[in-house]
A and B are shown apart, each in its own frame.
Chain A
Amino acid sequence: MKYQISENGSTVTARVTGQMTFEDRGEAPALAAALTQGSATAIVLDLSGVDYVDSAGLGILLTLREAAQAKGQGVALSGMTGSVKEVLELACFDTLFSFES
């Protein structure tokens, strides 16, 4: 998993690429800190460059959501395709995150 963070007004966006798996779980705290430290009120995770998510990858998303909630920020997921979209839908993540196309 790799990510690039950009800020635009009140929205901070992380463009994540590669796979989000068990191997990446250690990255979650750093990514959460990077997304929540500024003054942005909305977080967007652009997952269009992600081609595989396993259960621990979904766990990373949950950890990010908790960190954001603690700061009063909302989290949206965008750009999912293929198996990533399937996995997120099967796990009803649309009830926790807003899905943007």
Chain B
Amino acid sequence: MPTVRVLVVDDEDFNRQTLRYCLEPIGFEIDEAGDGVEAWALLSKRGDRYDAILLDRRMPGMDGMTVLAKIKEDPALKDIPVIMQTAMDREEEIIDGIEAGVHYYLTKPYDIDVLVSVVRAATDDYARLRRVHTELAKRSGAIRLLVQGRFELRTPQEADALGVMLASGLPRSAAVAMGLSELLINAIEHGNLELDYASKTDLTAAGQWDKIIGERLELTPYRGRVVIMDVRRDAQKAVFTITDEGKGFDWRAYMDLTKERAFDTHGRGIAMARKLAFASLEYQGRGNIVVATVALSEGGLAAQSGQDPAPTAGHSSQAEEGDETDKAPEPVIAVAGSVPAAVESRLRSVEGWTVIGGGEVMPGGDDDVLVISSDDANGPAGLRLSRRGAGAKGETIPLSGDPNLVEAVARALVLPETLEIGGDAEARLGAALACHQQGLAPDPSTLVTPVGSVSAWTSSCSRVSGDTWGARCLDDGRLSIFIADMTGHGPVAGVNTLRLHALLNDPATDPDEAPDAVLRRLDKALKAVLPSGEYAAMLYGIVDPVAGRFDYAAAGVPHPVVMDAAGRIVAAGSGKGLPVGASGVFPYEKRELHLVPGGGLVMFTDGLFSLVDRGHPGADAFERFTVAMEAMVGGGTAAERLAALVSAFDGPCADDVTAVCLSLAD
């Protein structure tokens, strides 16, 4: 049996020794590095000798995430499985790690059985990937001549063989082979053989899993069942439809690797396949049919196995004809730097888009190009989208590397009307946008400030909200806070909220910028980039606890209100102002409200008015809000009254609602 070598990276001697004592007796060779710098020195010299890397996240000097980013950027190292050691309760770290390409997690203190299972799972998966590479290299790729076909299979061994054969000749064939066999094996184990996730966990731990599979394959009724693989291929894509005869599989929990299952020893195959191999992956029926699509290069089929799609440089043929001078040239999307392959492949799969890969010749300086590049400031897998050329308007949006999110934002920037594409595709893009949006709003518990505490309520009338909010502690103890309501709702409005966050978090701006100056800046910037008729109604302000004052500027939102400790409204400001992005030159003015110690400051978007409309048609909406807040049964603080007001409403809302309350310290 070949040596299996693991690199252990940890700044604590004790931890490194523990791992060595656990892993050496069962046949693993261990190399140690005491920090990120030492680890990288070993990896950059002899990285090919490692079958897995056990990486501590927190280390002085170069930390685990930095080492991880360097590994993922290196083509020779990027496939080596990284097992991240992190505390179980650090959910954000786990999510960051998953996004950066960590598929295996260990928590300290080590449970020896879990440690061994996870390291085995990682090294076995890697060994399988290398076998697949070897197998693929032997193949001619003639299977790519197959236009349509059906295969029937029963066993995991057949699944592996079929996965490799069908993947040869496709772009990123190794990932596709792993992905297809994963889906096929899943169809056999969890579909035809009706074994569930929990029993796989137990039986794998007991070393009994393969035996049970072998036995079930010979038992009635399982022995008569087959998995069917249908293949259809055209110039743009290869579509694989896998159908089993089981009772159905609840696939929902397995489409993404989640923090809840990050520490499990198995169950990451579908999420990895989806992320690394396929342009799309959809379960159908009762969960016994899965459709996986692989995007092929635009000009036809990929030429060779194991290689990325053939590059297609330049513009669409229409633009080169030169007879369409009235029309703006079709925008071109350029992928630069270490953008994940799944993102590039997704963009290539969108009909009618010209995508230029890294290293290809970019069009001339005046052409409108949407550039997608890696952005370390936005995490190791971070990306940024920016416009270049005549259509450039100085806009840059930071994003995660989720292909759905990148596609959604690219559509919004290039051809907003194609974002509302309906059906499953829109739902897919909407889900990615909604997820990213949730990550942008702050977690109120992190806003530790002498000013007081922040509570927020949001509700959306569609999957993606057109509302957003934010708050930030400034260095001197003040707190900046904003609420915004983009025109309309749905995916286009959702992308516009990302644009607003990008402008507000632009590191080039001064966090101390006065509220009226912030709105003037946003007005000008949004006017330049938003389509006609789109804008943001918003309020931006800074709470100064020493002066007991809220300095703010408003752009067409309901009036902010100040409440006292007993929950009475004692002052209302003014939300009057032209929405930002509507004119580009509106002279926003600075306003102020005097705060009451122990009281509250409440601001909200006009969606909240739809919650107090009932029973009082015709009356001024703000008056109705005031009456509703004052009438809250049981009284209470501003935050309690607002919470009661929002939760009293249980019908479908007609508009997105955002309400933020700052409860002031005494």
Check if A56 is an interface residue, CB within 8 A of chain B: yes
- With both beta carbons as reference points, the residue of chain B lying nearest to A32 in the complex is identified as B532
Choose, from A8-16, A33-41, A82-90, the stretch at the interface.
Answer: A82-90
**A42 adjacent to chain B (CB < 8 Å):** no
Within 8 A of B (CB), among A58-101: 58-60, 62-63, 66, 82-83, 86-87, 89-93, 95-96
A-B contact count (CB 8 A): 66
Q: Which residue of A lies closest to B466 (CB)?
A: A55
Interchain nearest-CB distance for B619 vs A (Å): 9
The contact of B488 among A22, A62, A95, by CB within 8 Å, is: A22
* Contact for A91 among B466, B490, B579, B620, CB less than 8 A: B579
A91 and B578 form a contact (CB under 8 A): yes
Tell me whether A1 is interfacial, beta carbon within 8 Å: no
User: B388 on the interface (CB 8 Å rule)?
Assistant: no
* Among B487, B490, B575, B606, contact of A59 (Cβ-Cβ < 8 Å): B487
Asked if B535 and A59 sit within 8 Å, CB to CB, the answer is yes
B660 CB within 8 Å of chain A: no
Q: How many residues of A contact B (CB 8 A)?
A: 23
Q: Residues 488-512 of chain B: 1 if any A CB is under 8 Å from the residue's CB, otherwise 0? A: 1110000000000000000000000
Bound complex: CA A90 to CA B620 (Å): 12
On whether the beta carbons of B533 and A62 are closer than 8 Å, the reply is: yes
Question: Is the Cβ of B533 less than 8 Å from the Cβ of A59?
Answer: yes
Give the nearest-CB partner of B489 in chain A: A22
Closest chain A residue to B618, Cβ basis = A82
Q: How far is the CA of A86 from the CA of B225 in the complex (A)?
A: 67
Residue of B nearest to A89 (CB): B576
CA distance A56 to B488 in the complex (A): 5
Q: A55-B487, A91-B556 are in contact. Are A60 and B533 (CB under 8 A)?
A: yes
Q: Is the CB of A62 within 8 A of B576?
A: no
- Specify which of B490, B532, B577 lies most central, judged by the most chain A CB atoms within 10 Å of its CB: B532
By a CB distance below 8 angstroms, the chain B residues around A86 are 620-621
Contact B537 A91 (CB under 8 A): yes
B579 touches A58 (CB 8 A): yes
Candidates A56, A83, A87; contact of B487 at CB < 8 Å:
A56
Interface residues of A in 19-62 (CB under 8 A from B): 22, 25, 28, 54-56, 58-60, 62
Picked from B490, B532, B556, B606, the residue with its CB within 8 Å of the CB of A63 is B532
Across-interface contacts of B63 in A (CB, < 8 A): none
Q: Which residues of A contact B466 (CB under 8 A)?
A: 55
Of B490, B535, B620, which is within 8 A of A62 by CB?
B535
- Closest Cβ–Cβ distance, residue A85 to chain B (whole Å): 10
Q: Complex Cα distance A54/B657, Å?
A: 13
Residues in A with CB closer than 8 Å to B601 are none
B583 at interface by CB-CB < 8 Å: yes
Nearest B residue to A93, CB-CB: B578
Sample 29 A-B pairs with CB under 8 A, ordered by A number: A22-B488, A22-B489, A22-B490, A28-B533, A54-B655, A55-B466, A55-B488, A55-B537, A56-B488, A56-B533, A58-B579, A59-B534, A60-B533, A62-B533, A63-B532, A66-B532, A66-B533, A82-B618, A86-B620, A86-B621, A90-B558, A90-B575, A91-B556, A91-B576, A91-B577, A92-B586, A95-B583, A96-B582, A96-B583
Interface residues of B (CB under 8 A from A): 466, 485-490, 532-535, 537, 556-558, 575-579, 582-583, 586, 606, 618, 620-621, 655
A interface vs B, CB < 8 Å? 22, 25, 28, 54-56, 58-60, 62-63, 66, 82-83, 86-87, 89-93, 95-96
